[in-house]
Amino acid sequence: MTVRGPRAREGGARGAVPEGYDPHAFEPFAVTVDLAVFTVREGVLHALLIRRGQEPYAGAWALPGGFVLPRESTDLAARRELAEETGLPDDLVAGLHLEQLRTYSDPDRDPRMRVVSVAYTALVPDLPEPHGGGDAAHAEWVAFGSYGHLAFDHAEILADARERIGAKLEYTCLATSFCPPEFTLGELQQVYETVWGTVLDRPNFRRKVLATPGFVEQVAGASRLTGGRGKPAALHRAGPATALHPPLLRPEGRQT
Amino acid sequence: MTVRGPRAREGGARGAVPEGYDPHAFEPFAVTVDLAVFTVREGVLHALLIRRGQEPYAGAWALPGGFVLPRESTDLAARRELAEETGLPDDLVAGLHLEQLRTYSDPDRDPRMRVVSVAYTALVPDLPEPHGGGDAAHAEWVAFGSYGHLAFDHAEILADARERIGAKLEYTCLATSFCPPEFTLGELQQVYETVWGTVLDRPNFRRKVLATPGFVEQVAGASRLTGGRGKPAALHRAGPATALHPPLLRPEGRQT
DNA sequence: CGCCTTTATAGTCATGTTGACCATTAAGGG
DNA sequence: CCCTTAATGGTCAACATGACTATAAAGGCG
């Protein structure tokens, strides 16, 4: 990029800084981050949302987020907002997978002023309620799709995020981010089924996961009853691998 | 996102607009677009670059790009800048594949002021020189890697863009964007080999491409000599398909 | 004109992965 | 003690892939 007043394009080479350039001379852009945070709860995909109190869109759900501070990268702002708005412990937030989705910049996406927003996606395991008890935690888990109209263009962001995550599950080991530190292969499979909205064959899923070196590691000796019924499942934890080669493709290109 | 002065975070619910909010009250962010435009020329990947005339980074190569105008989305800004800086005909630019890469926001990425830049990637066929003759076309094709230090964080952007494109070739039909309207399968294969920096088996590549419905369509009757020598190749054009199922994976996860 | 080189195109074959199954094991519930 | 449930262990055919070999059609060259 180049610093140059937006109206100062006199055909010069890119990078010309007009003398006397004044950052305050034109209507500024506000830069914000929006967070599309997902978890899987009892087999249902949930997003972290906040109920808006003010116009516009008062009463509607909205994504957590906020302004990028003057000396902050958007990555940092996203992590800070996530910690603030969820009340999750800092060390947990520090370890979360947080990924830039894309930037939304329609001039009219906020009716009040020009706001360019960088959207991020995070995957978190099913946690106790997000309120940490402090004043900053108003976020709630809402089942995907079971909200009315979201504020601003947040419905589009959330849909894009879900699609991106679904795609990433195919060729990365990201699914373990949805799981607690120790999990069963059945729980891991449910992550895939929930995000993709499909049903997978259990033995085949198992075969694929175990055949990928470093995807999961078996926890020696431990096992857990899935809820009382059935044979207890072996516990696993996430392995060091991050990519899935070859990918685990979702059956036929259908979405939910 | 939400409109709220960056220092106005008094623990209120997200979306609180402090009364008397003044968009000019704080140091504004500048928002720009940067373009990572690639083509394949004689088997070598080239990027579209501009030679900087001013400090900082005077004399260094930089990506084309510029400010987002007050009433413009970044998508629109990217396409406008591409047309302006390359001098390519508008209708050609309108049809190009232009994709948002990601947003770069390090507070110090521009030493002069706070600039958040949304990077875009475009793939274009090998065209005559980019200068349209007008004053606006200073961009030049430079072989990938054969430049010194790029200005700002543009080296990182360009590397990210190349990696993204390489990945997209695996599971989309995007490779045809690098080719002229009619092309041989050998030319298409060279796109893959150039971007990936690998060599592919010709019969296998051919089998895979032809087995994917809608990837390419044979142009009836036509054929072209590849340069005089050898059997003339059948001509193809891009088909309606956009995704590649199953993907065409690059051999072993090595980069150039 | 014939032979060599070059490039496109057509197969072949062994291997690995996937999808669709069936079988067994280990728990809880009546 | 049998039934249900869920995890786990297999089989088998279809398909996709990687490594090759073979043929066809052009130009170059003696």
Q: Which residues contact A212 (CB under 8 A, 6 or more apart)?
A: A173, A241, A244, A245
Which DSSP string do the residues of B220-245 spell out, in sequence order? EEEEE-SSSSSSPEEEEEE-S--B-S
For range A237-246, the mean pLDDT: 95
- Tell me the residue length of chain A: 256
Residue B252 has pLDDT above 60, yes or no: yes
Helix (H, G, I), strand (E, B) or coil at A59: coil
CB–CB contacts below 8 A, A to B: 199
Identify the band that residue A22 occupies on the pLDDT scale cut at 50, 70 and 90: low
Minimum-distance CB partner of A118 among B16, B54, B103: B103
pLDDT at A224: 73
pLDDT tens track for A198-215: 999 999 999 999 999 999
Residue B8 has pLDDT above 70, yes or no: no
Chain B stretch 79-138, residues whose beta carbon is closer than 8 A to a beta carbon of chain A:
85, 100, 102-103, 105-107, 110, 112-118, 135-136, 138
Which DSSP string do the residues of B127-185 spell out, in sequence order? -S-S--SSTT---EEEETT-SSSPSTTHHHHHHHHHHHHHHHHHHBSGGGGGS-SSB-H
Nucleotide nearest to B223 (CA to C1'): C8
**Tokens 């981050």, located at residue:** A33
Q: Decide: A35 and A44 in contact? Cβ < 8 Å.
A: no
Beta bridge partners of B115: B30
- pTM, two decimals, is 0.88
- Give the lowest-confidence range in A108-122, B13-27, B70-84, B94-108: B13-27
Distance between CA atoms of residues B194 and B181, nearest Å? 19
CATH 1.10.10.10 fits A172-238, yes or no: yes
What's the DSSP call for residue A137? -
Identify the H or E element spanning B6.
none
Helix (H, G, I), strand (E, B) or coil at A222: strand
Helix (H, G, I), strand (E, B) or coil at A188: helix
* Cα–Cα nearest to B237, from B214, B203, B206, B253: B214
Residue A1 has pLDDT above 50, yes or no: no
**Tokens 């591409």, located at residue:** B82
Beta bridge partners of A3: none
Angstrom distance, A228 CA to D2 C1': 19
CATH superfamily of A30-170: Nucleoside Triphosphate Pyrophosphohydrolase (3.90.79.10)
pLDDT at B138: 76
For range B171-177, the mean pLDDT: 96
Backbone angles phi, psi at B210, to 5 degrees: -70, -25
pLDDT at A40: 94
- Tell me the residue length of chain B: 256
Number of helices (H) and strands (E) in chain A: give both, helices first: 5, 9
| A67 neighbourhood in chain B, CB within 8 Å | 1-2, 4-6, 9
- As ranges, strand D nucleotides with an atom below 7 A of a protein CB are 4-11, 16-22, 24-28
Domain residues of chain B, as ranges?
30-170, 172-238
pLDDT at A16: 41
* Cα–Cα nearest to A66, from A54, A79, A55: A79
